[in-house]
Amino acid sequence: MGLWERARWHAHRAERLAELAAEVRARAERVAGLLDHSAVEVARSSWVGPAADGAHDQLATQRARLRRLAARLLDESAAIDAAAERERSTAAELRRMAQVAA
């Protein structure tokens, strides 16, 4: 594989990674809000008593966990973005090398 082809490959890889990072970010929001509707309905319901209290507590715990997972997803997407940036740099470097060689 020549330098130009390698440069194109890394550039393409960078684009794909950037797209994937964006998709992961989009899902982070959905993960964070996964139990919002359930929590609203539990709060709205007339369900009371120890079982309902337990449900409230567990829902709060799991929603907090979901928010942490969503934050980690944002971190992961940033890491994928960084990988995309590295691929772009590599592609740029390869293009420079190809121009020099030409």
Residues that bind other proteins (CB under 8 A): 16-17, 20-21, 23-24, 27, 30-31, 34-35, 37-38, 40-42, 44-52, 55, 58-59, 62, 65-66, 69, 72-73, 76, 79-80, 83
Q: Which is nearer to other proteins, 1 or 50 (CB)?
A: 50
State the nearest-atom distance from the C-beta of 71 to other proteins, in Å: 10
The dihedral region occupied by 48, where left means phi > 0, alpha psi between -120 and 50, and beta the remainder, is beta
- CA dist., res. 37 & res. 44, Å (int): 10
At 33, phi and psi to the nearest 5? -100, 15
Looking at beta carbons only, is 38 or 99 nearer to other proteins?
38
Closer of 44 and 102 to other proteins (Cβ): 44
Instruction: Answer yes or no: are the C-beta atoms of 80 and 20 closer than 8 Å.
Output: yes
